[in-house]
Amino acid sequence: MSTFRNPVGPQEPQVYWRRRLAVGVGILAVIIIVILIIVRPGSGGSGAASPGSTKKPVAESSASPSPSPSSTASTGDCLPANIKLEAVTDNTTYGSAVNPMIGMTITNTGSKTCTVNAGTTQQNLVVTSGSETIWQSKDCQVNAVDFSQVLEPNKPVSTPTIAWDRTRSAPSTCAATDKPKVTAGGASYHLSVSLGQVKSKQTVQFILN
């Protein structure tokens, strides 16, 4: 009987051994090729990436984010010394049926833009005759509010005007319906204004007929 160790046939045993060796080498080569096809170097997640698939790292930007408009436009508080106030009336002479409209302008005399509280909590409009205070807006003011006003250098800002009803004012008479009227018929009055601790340096004169 022929066996792997003792081949039997018409030829010499060495011939059979060489044939079997050649077949074994061929089978081994096929196995190695199959393994290389299935497991290719670099195809797995742990293998080295191929040169073509190598990705360059994205460089992190070292530039700081651009500031928002609100932050670039932020300003400091105005210095009282740089605030100029002017009393404003809509006319210089008023007929008997016309109430004066009064207000103020606010000007930043400094060299830099700044912010001031220009709300009604800070405003006071005062009407005088000679040395006597006739009326002031603070006496019967209601619903006063704060308002941050940005002031550019030398650009006056006007506040909304209010009507003076030609009466005298006092905190004790705010609810009265028969407030005493002031003298008219060519009488002269003066308007001065203040914003917080800042006061207008000059008054504006007007005539009531």
Q: Is the pLDDT of residue 145 over 80?
A: yes
Q: State residue 28's pLDDT score.
A: 80
DSSP 61-80: P-SPPPPPHHHHT--EEPPG
Buried-state track 57-95, b at ≥16 Cβ within 10 A, e below 16: eeeeeeeeeeeeeeeeeeeeebeeebbebbbbbeeeebe
Model pLDDT for residues 152-179, shown as the tens digit of each residue? 999 999 999 999 999 999 999 999 999 9
The region of weakest confidence among 67-81, 116-130, 149-163, 191-205 is 67-81
Centroid of chain to Cα 141: 32
Residue 130 pLDDT grade (very low, low, confident, very high; cuts 50, 70, 90)? very high
- Taking the C-alpha atoms of residue 16 and residue 26, their distance in angstroms, rounded to an integer, is 15
The region of weakest confidence among 22-31, 136-145, 148-157, 172-181 is 22-31
Q: What is the residue-averaged pLDDT of the chain?
A: 83
Share of the chain above pLDDT 70, in %: 75
Cα dist. 26→7, 18, 20, 33, 162 in Å? Answer: 20, 12, 10, 11, 109
Predicted TM-score (pTM) of the model is 0.64
Selected residue with higher pLDDT from 5 and 129: 129
Residue 47 pLDDT grade (very low, low, confident, very high; cuts 50, 70, 90)? very low
In terms of residues, how long is the chain? Answer: 209
- Taking the C-alpha atoms of residue 162 and residue 179, their distance in angstroms, rounded to an integer, is 18
